[in-house]
Amino acid sequence: MKKTGHKHQKSIDANYKRCPECFTKLPLQATKCPSCNQKVQEVGKYGLAKKPVNWFGYLSAMGLWIALGLYVWWAFFK
């Protein structure tokens, strides 16, 4: 039985990655997308670049919840 030569490719292309925001092709060593200024990390799943974790947004959201909790506590136990 002869194989048809249809290779099952798992990795799409190893020569570039894509911006996770606007899907622009970027070189693998790029750290920032020139098209939308999104910071990018190493290539991840499906050839998309990984986004760095937004710690500032994460912490400010948490701070907002703590402030809300304190406000509720203050409003009820004054």
Binding site for Zn ion (CB under 5 A): 19, 21-22, 24, 33, 35-36, 38
Least distance in angstroms from the C-beta of 56 to Zn ion: 20
Neighbours of 22 (CB within 10 A): 11
Rounded CA separation 78/75 (Å)? 6
Residue 37: closest CA among 52, 47, 58: 52
Which CB atom, from 28 or from 36, has the smaller least distance to Zn ion? 36
Which CB atom, from 36 or from 70, has the smaller least distance to Zn ion? 36
Least distance in angstroms from the C-beta of 58 to Zn ion: 21
Which CB atom, from 36 or from 68, has the smaller least distance to Zn ion? 36
Handedness of CA 44, 45, 46, 50 (dihedral sign): negative
